[in-house]
Amino acid sequence: MDLRSIDLNLLVALDALLKERGVSRAAQRLALSQPTLSASLARLRRHFNDELLHRVGNQYVLTPLAERLAAMTGDTLNGAERIFTSQASFDPATSQRLFTLLTTDYGLAEAASAVCSAIEREGPRMRVRLRHITPEFAERGAEGLRSVDGLLMPHGYLPDLPHLDLYQDRWVCVVSADNALVGDELTMHDLATLPWVDAFGGPGGSTPAARQLRLLGVEPTVQVFADSFLGVPFLVAGTNRAALLQERVARRIADRPDLRTLECPFDAVPLTEAFWWHPVYTHDLEHVWLRGLLTEMFPQPAH
């Protein structure tokens, strides 16, 4: 298809129409008149030979084609914006870059706040958008990272993508304070017989420590899967469940009387928190600057 024959402004209209699922709200979103958006919708319908939006009762519903298009328009517009806002040089003091970062709740608690403060100090006109990641998103790998600047996520969930290691954290085990099945110390037998809470586990990946446990012959009986690290203590307290928990998080809950923190009965591989990005941003000047800032914030120990 020859793109020269297409009015690329229709992409903006298409994105708004599919997100708002109606002409009037899309017109408000774009600060245009309803007749203007109606005309754009008519052109889009002719181009795709599809209704895109059809009325059911008092609301509009997306056609199957429109559903597929809706999953692509946002990423496409983000990519176009990055292209046309790119500059030959970069000054953090004047840049208005909006960095979009994905993160787990653990990354939000342990790193994201400091990262946002550092960006604000160096680039006062820059902004940061933080979005929570789910295991399903992590399964998309490089495809999912194309539309964002990066991801704060431990090793074990993503394929071989560009990344910058930030820091390490130890694993400890948590059980309820009233769990009568556990003595003063956890044993491998305890880990094999207790029900588990598994944070960010499943087919999309798991922490190296969880995989290590399986290699040692212990297949945890997972009772609860959670898309949250910080939610683990709430899912353990008052139950017979056990869970692996980052030591940094365990320190935050050390004064909770309803939980016990115990050493792992095996030499658990440490968690390595990292910043991941899509290769398309490797040479982006502002992205290079952001990675340099992270390197300064999280210097690696000398070997």
How are beta strands 271-276 and 163-169 bridged, if at all?
antiparallel
What is d(CA 296, CA 275) in angstroms, rounded to the nearest whole number? 13
Q: What is the tens place of the pLDDT at every residue in 60-113? A: 888 888 888 887 777 677 666 666 666 656 788 888 889 999 999 999 999 999
Q: Could you state, in order of their start, the residue ranges of all structural domains in the chain?
A: 3-73, 98-168+272-297, 171-269
Q: Is the pLDDT of residue 8 over 90?
A: no
pLDDT at res. 186: 94
Percent of the chain past pLDDT 90, that is, above it, reads: 44
pLDDT at res. 230: 92
Distances 17 to 7, 70, 136, 139 between C-alpha atoms, Å: 16, 9, 26, 29
What is d(CA 301, CA 303) in angstroms, rounded to the nearest whole number? 6
For the ranges 107-111, 198-202, 239-243, the lowest mean pLDDT is seen at: 198-202
DSSP 112: I
Q: Which one has a higher pLDDT value, 250 or 28?
A: 250
Burial (0-12, 13-18, 19+ Cβ within 10 Å), 160: exposed
**Phi, psi angles (nearest 5°) of residue 286:** -70, -35
The topology under which CATH files domain 98-168+272-297 is D-Maltodextrin-Binding Protein; domain 2 (3.40.190)
Identify the residue whose tokens are 């699922």. 21
| Amino acid residing at 287 | H
Q: Is the pLDDT of residue 116 over 70?
A: yes
What is d(CA 200, CA 13) in angstroms, rounded to the nearest whole number? 37
Q: Whole-model pTM above 0.75?
A: no
Write down the architecture of domain 3-73 according to CATH.
Orthogonal Bundle (1.10)
pLDDT at res. 80: 67
Does 3.40.1280.10 match the CATH number of domain 171-269?
A: no
Distances 27 to 32, 37, 42, 249 between C-alpha atoms, Å: 5, 6, 14, 46
Closest Cα to residue 220, out of 249, 187, 242, 245?
242
Q: Do domains 98-168+272-297 and 171-269 have the same CATH topology?
A: yes
